[in-house]
Structures are given as C-alpha cells and as structure tokens.
Amino acid sequence: MFVTVDREGGLPVDAAFAADTVATLDRYRMAGHDIALREPVHVSLEIDLLVCVDDGHFRSDVRPALLDALSNGVRADGT
C-alpha cells in the first residue's frame, strides 16, 4: 500500500518521520500488505466556478471575498 503524506508547513518526509508514520500505520495494515511512504507530487489545479450573487449583495464585494476564502495563503482575517 502506498501512502502519500503532505506534511504541515511543507516539511519534507525525512527518515525519522517516515519510520514513525509507517510504525503508526502498521497497526492497521492488512496481513500480507506492505506500507510504502511517498512524498506528495504537487500539481496545479484549475477550477471553474459559477457563482450567483443573491439580491442585496454587490458583485464587487463578493469577488474579493471569494478570492480570499479560496486562497491558499493567509486570509485577510489572519487565518
């Protein structure tokens, strides 16, 4: 069984982390199956969204809010 781990903060899958993760997963693996840990392969993803703006809201307000909510970085509210 191949397991891909994307560590928080983009940390690499080093030998110590891999050994600890495999040991943790080993408790749940099926007999006769090996566990191999891999680093993630990051790929770009393009998603098209159709957004309908409800009455009482302005498109000029909705667009930046959507871009902020869907961002992969730190949002305007600090989260």
Instruction: Tell me if 63 is assigned to some domain.
Output: no
Q: Is residue 29 in a domain? A: yes
Per residue in 13-43, pLDDT (tens digit) is 889 999 999 999 888 888 888 888 888 888 8
Q: Is residue 73 part of a domain?
A: no
> Does residue 72 lie in a domain region?
no
Measured CA to CA, the distance from residue 31 to residue 24 in angstroms comes to 15
Kindly give, in sequence order, each residue whose CB lies less than 8 Å from that of residue 13, ignoring residues fewer than 6 positions away.
5, 7, 21, 37, 38, 39
Q: Which domain holds residue 11?
A: 2-38
Per-residue pLDDT of 68-79, as tens digits, reads 888 877 777 877
Instruction: State pTM to two decimals.
Output: 0.50
Structure tokens at 60: 């000029």
Beta-strand runs (E) in 20-75: 36-38
**Domain membership flag for residue 52:** no
* Residue 10 placed within a domain: yes
pLDDT of the residue at 62:
92
Q: Could you give the number of structural domains in the chain?
A: 1
pLDDT value, residue 40: 86
Q: Give a yes or no: residue 55 inside a domain.
A: no
C-beta neighbour count of 53 within 10 angstroms: 13
Both tokens assigned to 18: 């891999």
Residue 51 within a domain: no
